[in-house]
Amino acid sequence: MSKPAVIIVGADKGGVGKTTVMRTLLDYFLARKVPTRAFDTESPKGTLKRFHPDVTDVVDMNHIPDQMQIFDTLSENAVTLIDVRAGLLSPTLTALRNIGFIDAAKKGQITLSIFHVLGPSIASLDEIVENSDFVNDVRYFLVKNFINNTHFFEWDQATYNSYFKRIKDAVEITVPKLNEMACEQVELASVPFLTFIANKKANGEPAAYSFVLRGYVRHWLGHVWAEYDRIKLVDIVSTREAPQIKATG
């Protein structure tokens, strides 16, 4: 990495699967040996920390000391991922603009990518407009997350396209649906997807997860990672060549 890379995952609505997307990103980078550090802004609870305790810190984005903890310690040696609490994406982007972070990204001093996880309602489209003012010069990804059985059909395609075009070079990413029971079992296990696939507990000991459910997770994660490969995510955060890796345990 030649400069610090930051990935912000957020949405202005809760329950659209932000943390799930974040977990797939952490697994993706782990499998590619890209060092990461993550910040979970669901203070004080921290859902992400439950799955990735080794690399995650729980912070409160409204507290200046916590903002300093994130942005004053950016490193070229690790990708910084921030799971932004529901409803805080737009305020966070505003705060980043105010501290000159967006400008630094525009000048190429840092690499800033935003994963905007969309919900099924028209309100999600309005979020695109809200964010379009200050994100035209960063990498902006619109994530359609089907994992929660979300239906995006209520959007008229023409309407969606008109919103989508507000942000220059925005790229769409699709996260397919994961079998509900498999999803539930990974939640119960409280381990990263890769650990579940490898049939291990959080402490590394062998587990007894279902072969079928592990298969579903492996298949699903492979599709998600194919999307990240498609957008050349490793190249975005690094100057190194991105290796093609399968989601195997």
Interacting residues toward another protein by CB under 8 A:
179-182, 210-216, 218-219
Helix (H) or strand (E) holding 126: helix 122-132
Tokens representing residue 204 in the block: 């590394």
Contact 105, 26 (CB under 8 A): no
Q: Are strands 79-83 and 56-58 parallel, antiparallel or unpaired?
A: unpaired
Contact 32, 102 (CB under 8 A): no
Choice between 91 and 215, CB closer to another protein: 215
The nearest distance, CB 128 to another protein, in angstroms, is 33
Choice between 74 and 182, CB closer to another protein: 182
Tokens representing residue 11 in the block: 């949405």
The nearest distance, CB 177 to another protein, in angstroms, is 13
Choice between 122 and 212, CB closer to another protein: 212
Helix (H) or strand (E) holding 128: helix 122-132
The nearest distance, CB 31 to another protein, in angstroms, is 17
The nearest distance, CB 198 to another protein, in angstroms, is 13
Q: How far apart are CA 213 and CA 24, in angstroms?
A: 17
Choice between 153 and 211, CB closer to another protein: 211
